[in-house]
């Protein structure tokens, strides 16, 4: 019999948070795995065991925040003979190897080093292999747990981070670009539950934009389920065009988005707003403009991409599968009637004064948003 053995990162496990962290991770895994198979998932001595060998489950383990690594392991009895048998079954036929034992069950009569030696010798006797402790071709991992031992040699790397939910909830502004889906992903990776918000202008936006945003939400929901708000931006945008000079419009569009995102944050019990801003990348992202934009909200604004270069962002986007969706052509609502030379240092008081002339029906826009669940 084989099972998936799941390990989480241990740094976060100190103190009282441990139990909460573990329960959250089990719950998150359970919800995703249930869609594949109805199998038992249990906690056991600092690991999680999924009682299935369904290959589709490895994809879930690869994409769930909080999982450091996992493995499809042979299950052995708690005796060294049974462990040797399983180790022989998975040992390669040529090359070098070593045995690496972790004994979390301290009642087991042999120490880790003794188990390494006994299992290693049995493999050497049966197969034409060499031991190399420093740079082996294969490592045979043995884990001694409470009722069973687990034996495997292939680790499935996870994304690390924290289980989604342990950090609370955020509202994440998602455009159709490359950056914001990556920012949303990074917030999820650090344990935040994400509510996505997209602003669209129905007159310039075709069905394809809608589909694009849905596809991005769907992709992100492979990490953890997400809720998406599709907020109609047309009326607000038309009013901004009426009352704000073109070189200031981009900043005001974005301030308006921050205000509407704050209304949604309030409704959703979110504690922060996430954007895909990367310092200095485009005109709206000078420090002065960001100061003026973020001042429109009382919530802290988190920008997970602030320290990343574009190529680093692209690399993550490819890895999480959003890149190919993001690079499909789309009309960005924000590019509508903005100046070719937008202001790069919009002063807050100046912009606030301009906005006094506007009748922005932001509350109405949020209230008429379509809310869609993914995952
Ligand atoms: P992205 O690649 O995410 O579009 P960007 O570098 O192109 O980012 P902008 O287009 O100026 O920069 O947008 C900055 C951020 O503002 C985005 O990352 C996103 O968080 C938010 N944003 C912009 N447009 C929208 C929109 N239509 N709906 C929701 N959020 C948006
Ligand atoms: Mg963009």
Q: Could you give the angle at the alpha carbon of 128 between the alpha carbons of 124 and 133, nearest 5°?
A: 55
CA distance 16 to 358: 50
> Of 4, 2, 184, whose CA–CA distance to 86 is shortest?
2
Dump strand ranges (E) for the chain.
2-8, 41-44, 47-50, 67-76, 96-103, 130-131, 138-144, 149-152, 156-157, 169-173, 193-200, 226-232, 272-274, 301-302, 370-374
Which residues on adjacent β-strands are paired with residue 142? 101, 151
Token pair, residue 20, equals: 């909460």
3-state SS class at 155: coil
Confidence band of 221 (pLDDT split at 50, 70, 90): very high
Task: Specify the CATH number of the domain 169-374.
Answer: 3.40.50.620
Is 90 exceeded by the pLDDT of residue 253? yes
Mean pLDDT along residues 268-285 = 88
Angle between helical axes of 56-63 and 17-33 (0-180°, round to 10)? 140
pLDDT on residue 46: 85
CA distance 191 to 189: 5
Mean predicted lDDT score pLDDT of the chain: 94
pLDDT digits 0-9 by tens, 231-245:
999 999 999 999 999
Decide: 128 and 91 in contact? Cβ < 8 Å.
no
Dump strand ranges (E) for 153-251.
156-157, 169-173, 193-200, 226-232
Whether the pTM exceeds 0.85: the reply is yes
Distance from residue 225's CA to the centre of ligand 2 (Å): 24
Give the fold, CATH level 3, of 2-157: VC0802-like (3.30.2130)
Q: Calculate the CA 166 to chain-centre distance.
A: 13
* 173 in contact with ligand 1, CB cutoff 6 A: yes
Tell me the percentage of the chain whose pLDDT exceeds 90: 85
Annotated binding site for ATP: 173-174, 198-199, 254, 276, 285
Decide: 217 and 228 in contact? Cβ < 8 Å.
yes
Residues contacting residue 102 through CB under 8 Å, at least 6 positions apart: 112, 141, 142, 143, 144
* 84 in contact with ligand 1, CB cutoff 6 A: no
CA distance 366 to 9: 39
* 86 in contact with ligand 1, CB cutoff 6 A: no
pLDDT on residue 150: 98
Ligand 1 atom 17, closest CA: 276
Sorted by where each begins, the domain ranges of the chain are 2-157, 169-374
* 110 in contact with ligand 1, CB cutoff 6 A: no
Virtual CA dihedral for 149, 155, 161, 167, nearest 10 degrees? Answer: -40
Mean pLDDT check: name the lowest of 6-20, 51-65, 86-100: 6-20
Annotated binding site: 173-174, 198-199, 254, 276, 285
Q: Which ligand is nearest to the CA of 327?
A: 1
Q: Checking DSSP bridges between strand 47-50 and strand 41-44, what pairing results, if any?
A: antiparallel
* 253 in contact with ligand 1, CB cutoff 6 A: no
Select from 170, 177, 308 the residue to mutate for testing ligand 1; criterion: most ligand atoms less than 8 Å from CB.
Answer: 177
Q: Calculate the CA 222 to chain-centre distance.
A: 9
């Amino acid at each position: 019999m084989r099972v998936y053995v799941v390990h989480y990162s241990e740094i976060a496990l100190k103190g009282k948070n441990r139990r909460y962290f573990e329960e959250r991770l089990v719950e998150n895994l359970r919800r995703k795995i249930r869609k594949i198979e109805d199998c038992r998932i249990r906690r056991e001595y600092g690991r999680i065991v999924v009682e299935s060998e369904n290959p589709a489950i490895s994809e879930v383990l690869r994409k769930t925040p909080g999982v450091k690594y996992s493995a499809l392991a042979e299950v052995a009895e708690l005796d060294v003979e049974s462990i040797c048998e399983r180790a022989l079954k998975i040992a390669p036929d040529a090359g070098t190897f070593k045995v690496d034992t972790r004994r979390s069950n301290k009642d087991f009569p042999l120490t880790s080093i003794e188990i390494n030696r006994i299992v290693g010798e049995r493999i050497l006797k049966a197969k034409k292999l060499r031991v190399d402790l420093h740079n082996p071709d294969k490592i045979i991992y043995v884990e001694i747990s409470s009722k069973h031992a687990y034996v495997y040699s292939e680790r499935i790397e996870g994304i690390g981070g924290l289980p989604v939910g342990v950090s609370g909830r955020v509202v994440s502004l998602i455009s159709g670009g490359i950056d914001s889906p990556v920012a949303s992903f990074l917030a999820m990776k650090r344990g935040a539950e994400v509510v996505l918000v997209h602003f669209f202008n129905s007159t310039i936006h075709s069905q394809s934009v809608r589909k694009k945003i849905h596809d991005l939400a769907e992709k992100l929901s492979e990490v953890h389920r997400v809720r998406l708000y599709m907020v109609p931006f047309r009326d607000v945008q038309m009013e901004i065009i009426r009352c704000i000079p073109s070189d200031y419009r981009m900043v005001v569009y974005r301030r308006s988005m921050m205000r509407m995102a704050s209304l949604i944050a309030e409704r959703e019990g979110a504690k922060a707003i996430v954007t895909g801003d990367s310092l200095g990348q485009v005109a709206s992202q000078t420090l002065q403009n960001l100061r003026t934009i973020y001042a429109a909200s009382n919530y802290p604004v988190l920008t997970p991409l602030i320290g990343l270069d574009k190529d680093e962002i692209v690399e993550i986007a490819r890895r999480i599968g959003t890149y190919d969706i993001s690079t499909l052509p789309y009309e960005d609502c924000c590019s509508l009637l903005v100046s070719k030379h937008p202001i790069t240092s919009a002063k807050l008081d100046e912009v606030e004064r301009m906005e006094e002339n506007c009748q922005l029906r932001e509350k109405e826009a949020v209230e008429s948003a379509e809310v869609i669940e993914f995952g």
